[in-house]
Structure formats: C-alpha cells, structure tokens
Homo-oligomer: A and B are copies of this chain.
Amino acid sequence: MNTIFAAMTRQELIHQIHNKRSFLCVGLDPELSKIPTHLHSAPDPVLEFCKSIIDATRDLCVAYKPNTAFFEQFGSAGWSTLEQVIDHIGSDHFIIADAKRGDIGNTSTMYAKAFFESLKADAVTVAPYMGKDSVDPFLQFDGKWAVVLALTSNSGSNDFQRKHLSGSNQELFENVLKTVSAWGTIDNTMYVVGATHPELFKRVRAIVPDHFLLVPGVGAQGGSLSAVAVSGMNADVGLLVNSSRQILYASSGLDFMEKAHKEAEKLRDEMAVLIENIR
C-alpha cells in the first residue's frame, strides 16, 4: 500500500453526507462556449468559471467531479487549470477525477500516480474492459478510490454492457459488478450506475448492496433523483448523485453563481428529505 496523502474515507464521506444533508456531486465539465461572456476576459476563463461554481455550491455538495476531457482539450495549459481547480476545492470535499482510465498494470499504476499523487484526487473513474490487472493498481493507494464503470448513463450502454453472458443469468454490467467486487472492498471501490436506468438499480443492489454508487444522468440526460433513490439508496445512503450541466449552465449571465447555487439547493433539498426517510 502506498500511503502518501490524506484522503477521504468511507466513514468521513458518510459523515459529510449526513452533516450537509446532501449526496450531491457537482460535475465540472467547463465548456468555453457556454461560460458567461463576462468571464471571457479573465486570464483563464475556465479556471475563473470553475472557481466561481465551486464557491457557489461548496455548502450544498459533498463531492466534485472534474471531467478531465474538458481540461485536456487545452493541452498542458488545461492540465494546469485542472490542478488549480482541484487546489481550489480543498480537502473538505470528495474529489473524483472523471478520467475513465484503465490499461495494463504498469500503465494503470502511472495513471494512479497521476490522479492520486500529482493531482491529489480522492478517486478516479476506471473503465473495466481490460480486467483485473488494469483495475488493481488503483486499489493500492491507501484511502484512495477506484470508481469503476458498470452501467453508464448513455445510449451506448446498450451496446456491450447489456449483453447477456452465456451460462449465467448475467448481463455484462452485472458480471463487472460481481467480478470487480471480489477485487476491491467497499472502502476503496465505487461503481458508476446511470440514473437513466432506474429499473436496473434493484439488480445492481442485489450484487453490491453496500458499495457507494456514483450516479450520473440526472437532469440534462433525463434521469430522476427520486426514482434512483427508491431502489438505489442503502442504510449508509450509498449514493453520490452527479449533476453537471443543470448547475453549471443554469444561467449564462452575471447571476450565474446565484442560479447555480439555486439549482444545487433544489437538489440538496430533495436529498435532505430522502436522507431523512432512511434514518
């Protein structure tokens, strides 16, 4: 085990969730064309925008999920912006680098170093296609997390993830859940399950009752928070529900921080009731 940086444990995350009455994760997918025009004159508009969104939502969410693609499009300058965004978040929130990485062992180790040591994220999203030796390296960092893709929120999730496997009653995503849960623990592994498949959360929970699930797809992609909560929550809440565009682009005017706060608050208020109900 590599113990290098402080990271957020499962217990601390659960504590934060109850404390803030929120399991909201704010996705940071900054698109230059959608950023309020008055920020375009800043030296780094993307950084300015992300910092403002963070400041506007800090008290309402427990996690941030910067999407690496939106920074990488700007090359090394974008990667530098990403570093500053993560610095700005600080250590009170669970930070998920949404990077969808995964490669042979020695390469996954390098990716783990990139996100856990260099970038100081708590977690990174991992694509499971390459199997055990591509996921394992992300589990070797004490207090850090792999968030493994199981059933994603997009239409393409039907292409491979929902294929039935011979000699079992499982679809591929179920086999991924079952197989990967033998590699990691509930303290270092979460799964991505899209809100666009509310009818499948029962099958997910039958395999991984205790794991945290990272749930994208609420809002712009059409998923419903309450539908997810009904069959996705467990006694520890067990969900981080992500919202990106609905919050980031609530307004493109001078009031974008206020509107972002309001959208996050709406979600937090819904979540507070849902959390109250499981107590």
Contact = CB atoms under 8 A, between A and B. Distances in A.
Interface of A: 29, 67, 69-70, 72-80, 82-83, 98, 100-108, 110-111, 113-114, 117-119, 127-135, 149, 152-161, 163-167, 172, 175-176, 179
5 contacts: A29-B107, A72-B79, A75-B79, A100-B127, A130-B149
A162 B135 CA distance: 17
Given A75-B114, A76-B77, A130-B152, 19 more contacts: A29-B106, A67-B103, A69-B107, A69-B110, A73-B114, A76-B76, A78-B114, A100-B102, A100-B103, A129-B129, A131-B152, A131-B154, A131-B157, A133-B156, A134-B154, A135-B156, A160-B172, A163-B172, A164-B166
A12 B149 CA distance: 37
A164 B165 contact: yes
Copies in the complex: 2
Given A76-B83, A110-B72, A118-B74, A159 B131 contact: yes
Contact of A118 (B75, B100, B106): B75
A72 to B, nearest CB: 4
A165 B159 CA distance: 12
Contacts of A29: 106-107
Contacts of A159: 128, 131-132, 179
Given A105-B154, A134-B156, A160-B176, A73 B129 contact: no
A158 B130 contact: no
Contacts of A69: 101, 103, 107-108, 110-111, 114
A68 B127 CA distance: 16
Nearest to A107: B69
A133 B160 contact: no
- What are the nearest 10 A-B pairs in CB distance? A131-B156, A131-B159, A69-B110, A76-B80, A72-B114, A164-B166, A76-B79, A75-B118, A104-B154, A79-B79
Contacts of A117: 73
B76 A128 contact: no
Given A69-B110, A155-B131, A163 B165 contact: yes
A166 B164 CA distance: 5
A91 to B, nearest CB: 18
A67 B104 CA distance: 11
Nearest to A220: B106
Contacts of A105: 154
